[in-house]
């Protein structure tokens, strides 16, 4: 079993994988040497690794996390013991759902749903380097989302601010809106696949999403888990949701020729004030989530 600390990561691999590992490292620009008692040693900026004749593999360097996460685990180790030490990856068929944009004043609320048929699909996800979207930069998010869409059945619910504000006036509660979005993403994938199991990142009391599914007459075994993105299928859904949010925010920026920062910081308040000066107060209906306290800070503060 792999083990790791802040300085190095140590595991054991089957030496039959040595030639593949060596070839892949050469393609990735590593310089290889063969010190005594090793099969080889490889180094490049930020990462060094040594494969010993015993099969012991040691990885070091400030960039080791990305190397292990995006290459070593999916391509060589075929498990997530380093990335997710507290979780065993389940290989059964399921739908994963997650959202993005919930805490962002500007931009849409997006819910992504992803279907996997079992071990083959989950292995494919791992080889893509799918992780929780909060651990990946936007450029990588957009690339991964395109790969996922080419290979898997998915659904994305995107609610732009104008529609979001109308819906919020009906629901009067963000969790109720989220539950509707999760239920809608699940409903679409159940219709497409007949899948009877789903997992989501829990964001409210369990009955909130269960009721939303019941209203749509969707029958499914639903697992709601805190830190649900530790499941690779939920992580894949989070990537779809995040990519949809990033693209939607860019569309709004272009449409209204405005800077629209992510989050709900002081920088966001300043950008909203500039938007109001440029377009009037009604612009916030089109680009922002009006129920945020940020609105009051912009218009009164």
- Tens-place pLDDT, residues 259-276: 999 999 999 999 999 999
Q: Could you tell me if residue 257 is left (phi over 0), alpha (psi between -120 and 50 degrees) or otherwise beta?
A: left
Please enumerate in sequence order all residues whose Cβ is within 8 A of that of 27, keeping only pairs 6 or more positions apart, or say none: none
Confidence category of residue 80, pLDDT binned at 50, 70, 90: low
Average pLDDT score over residue span 31-56: 94
Could you tell me where the DSSP H helices lie in 81-137?
119-128
63: domain CATH number is 3.30.310.10
- How many whole angstroms separate alpha carbon 266 and alpha carbon 268? 5
Please enumerate in sequence order all residues whose Cβ is within 8 A of that of 185, keeping only pairs 6 or more positions apart, or say none: 97, 111, 112, 113, 155, 156, 157, 237
159 and 133 fall within a common domain: yes
108 and 228 fall within a common domain: yes
Q: Read off the tokens for 284.
A: 């916030």
Residues found in the chain: 301
108 and 239 fall within a common domain: yes
Q: What is the pLDDT of residue 65?
A: 87
Q: Tell whether 99 is in a known binding site.
A: yes
Confidence category of residue 130, pLDDT binned at 50, 70, 90: confident
Q: Tell whether 132 is in a known binding site.
A: no
Arithmetic mean of pLDDT over the chain: 91
Average pLDDT score over residue span 220-228: 90
178: domain CATH number is 3.30.420.10
- Structural domain that includes position 140: 94-250
| Ranges 15-29, 120-134, 279-293: which has the least confidence | 120-134
Q: What is the pLDDT of residue 128?
A: 86
179 and 53 fall within a common domain: no
Confidence category of residue 282, pLDDT binned at 50, 70, 90: very high
31 and 139 fall within a common domain: no
102 and 222 fall within a common domain: yes
Q: Tell whether 250 is in a known binding site.
A: no
Percent of the chain's residues with pLDDT above 90:
76
How many domains would you assign to the chain? 3
Stated pTM of the model: 0.74
289 and 231 fall within a common domain: no
């Amino acid at each position: 079993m792999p083990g790791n600390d802040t300085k190095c990561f140590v595991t054991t691999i089957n030496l039959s994988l040595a030639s593949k590992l060596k070839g892949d490292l050469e393609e990735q620009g590593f310089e290889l040497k063969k010190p005594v008692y090793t099969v080889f040693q490889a180094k490049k900026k930020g990462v060094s690794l040594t494969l010993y004749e015993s099969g012991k593999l040691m990885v070091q360097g400030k960039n080791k996390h990305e190397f292990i996460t995006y290459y070593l685990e999916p391509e060589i180790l075929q498990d997530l013991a380093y990335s997710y030490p507290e979780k065993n990856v389940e290989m059964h068929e399921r739908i994963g759902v997650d959202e993005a944009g919930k805490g962002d004043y500007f931009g849409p609320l997006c819910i992504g749903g992803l279907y996997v048929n079992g071990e083959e699909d989950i292995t494919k996800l791992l080889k893509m380097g799918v992780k929780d979207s909060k651990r990946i930069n936007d450029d990588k998010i957009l690339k991964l989302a395109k790969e996922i869409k080419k290979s898997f059945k998915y659904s994305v619910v995107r609610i732009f601010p104008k529609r979001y504000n109308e819906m919020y006036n009906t629901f009067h509660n963000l969790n109720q809106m989220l539950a509707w979005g999760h239920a809608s993403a699940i409903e679409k994938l159940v219709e497409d696949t007949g899948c009877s199991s789903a997992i989501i990142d829990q964001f409210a009391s369990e009955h909130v999403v269960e009721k939303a599914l019941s209203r749509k007459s969707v029958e499914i075994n639903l697992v709601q888990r805190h830190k649900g993105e530790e499941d690779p299928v939920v992580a894949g859904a989070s990537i779809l949701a995040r990519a949809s949010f990033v693209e939607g925010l860019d569309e709004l920026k272009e449409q209204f020729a405005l800077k629209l920062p992510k989050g709900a910081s002081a920088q966001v308040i300043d950008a909203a004030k500039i938007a109001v000066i440029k377009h009037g107060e009604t612009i916030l209906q089109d680009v922002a989530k009006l129920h945020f306290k940020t609105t009051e800070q912009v218009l009164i503060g």
